[in-house]
Structure 1
Amino acid sequence: MTLFLVFAALLFLSGIVWTLVDVARDGYRRRPTLERDGRDRPDR
């Protein structure tokens, strides 16, 4: 019972951390490359 709660808590916390990291990286990468991204996509 305790192991299950600990595992669930770790899974929940890791999920939140990875989501925040992903959003932070995404926002950091997309801000300076918004113009390039818009121009490069139609070429493909």
Structure 2
Amino acid sequence: MSLGLVPYGEAFALQRSLAGAVAQGAIPETVIFLEHPPVVTVGRRT
């Protein structure tokens, strides 16, 4: 699956949705190719 430029939050939501569908056996394992604008991460507890 090639999506081009996708905002980080939207890409993360799609990844979680696809992972759930794969876990349920609804779709085959999927590779996602995409790019998102720069994101700064500071950790879960910040």
* TM exceeding 0.5: no
More helix, by proportion: 1
TM-score (norm. length: structure 1): 0.43
Choose between structure 1 and 2 for higher RCO, CA contacts under 8 A separated by at least 6 residues. 2
Report the structure number with the largest CA radius of gyration: 1
Question: Which structure shows the bigger proportion of residues in strand conformation?
Answer: 2
